[in-house]
Chain A
């Protein structure tokens, strides 16, 4: 993963669905992406918002296919990508093949080549593995007590 410094045309991508344990208003997601672009001297293009249907990536696919206008797509988190690894890899490969990099604002990560997929997959797996709320921690404590 690297950071790129040259001025590029970035398309924002937001979702009305929950991701990574968050439910963030689309306007705030867009604001975070806009700020990320400003900090790096990128040109921000108004976000495309995904459909609310679970596991739908119709909008993301369209953004990736529309590579004539954009050199990158930016979204808040890797948690917005498909959980299914094959679908995720397919989308990322298509983006790269179209000359787009993929930026993740919260994680401060940029996918610029297939070599970056491993890092992204590992982080996704770790995020799914590590308990992230008090209820999960309590369950762990209860199982430890039981043992």
Chain B
């Protein structure tokens, strides 16, 4: 017997595509905020360069490699990451880039990662390669999605890659069965099956972090800058204390019925059991 579903037809289509492919790409829902994030990161990057005595500033993030030597990419990235997260309004703005899409895929009671992350991948930079991995395999909630937003066009080898859900599950089964012995072996066995995901500036990507993903050496002539942050259903379980509600995610949408329940639990003394 098929399970009941009262999702709208649009959400059904979207959900089925997401479950089959492990990702969706859609237009950004708040271009003003995206431009503002882009501009403030560019401004802060140039301030940092000046503070380091580097005279050639960045006019376009796509060409950041002409100003930032690859040896300094991680330093500037960490500086910008810290600066970004000092502003408590950034998470709200970031959520707004895909608020409707997130609610269609995840739900209408939500918890969001406490920090927005920044990635920079400049041409020929070996130090920024993120090997094939799955966030969930290393302790993130299996119920989370990742909202990934490029600040430059993300295409060809400066895009991230993703192994579709079915192949990712297959890889995990083979690793558990002892057939594949390392992440490197998994990488070699499945690299031909991964999909490079093109995401132009002005669009957003949401992907299933149960799927294996990563990036490779950027052999294009353009740098790729992107932001990412994780979102899960508010009451979804976690698998490790480190990646749980509180230290890792905080609520961004709580509906009245849940607040009502929390109050009732406390009033009835049930929380002490």
**Residues of A bordering B, CB below 8 Å:** 1-3, 5, 20-22, 39-40, 76-79, 85, 106-109, 122-123, 125-134, 136-137, 140
Chain B contacts for A126, CB-based, 8 A: 234-235, 245, 251, 254, 262
Set A3, A108, A137: member contacting B114, Cβ < 8 A: A108
Chain B contacts for A107, CB-based, 8 A: 114, 246-247, 250
B86 and A130 contact, CB distance less than 8 A:
no
Set A3, A108, A130, A132: member contacting B250, Cβ < 8 A: A108
Set B82, B236, B247: member contacting A130, Cβ < 8 A: B236
Assembled-state Cα–Cα distance A40/B88 (Å): 12
A125-B266 in contact given A2-B88, A5-B86, A130-B238 (Cβ < 8 Å): yes
Minimum CB distance partner of A126 in chain B: B245
Minimum CB distance partner of B115 in chain A: A108
A134 and B239 contact, CB distance less than 8 A:
yes
Interface residues of B in 223-273 (CB under 8 A from A): 234-242, 244-248, 250-251, 254, 259, 262, 265-266, 271
Assembled-state Cα–Cα distance A56/B102 (Å): 42
A133-B240 in contact given A106-B247, A125-B266 (Cβ < 8 Å): yes
B246 and A20 contact, CB distance less than 8 A:
yes
Assembled-state Cα–Cα distance A123/B248 (Å): 12
A1 and B88 contact, CB distance less than 8 A:
yes
A106-B246 in contact given A22-B241, A131-B237 (Cβ < 8 Å): yes
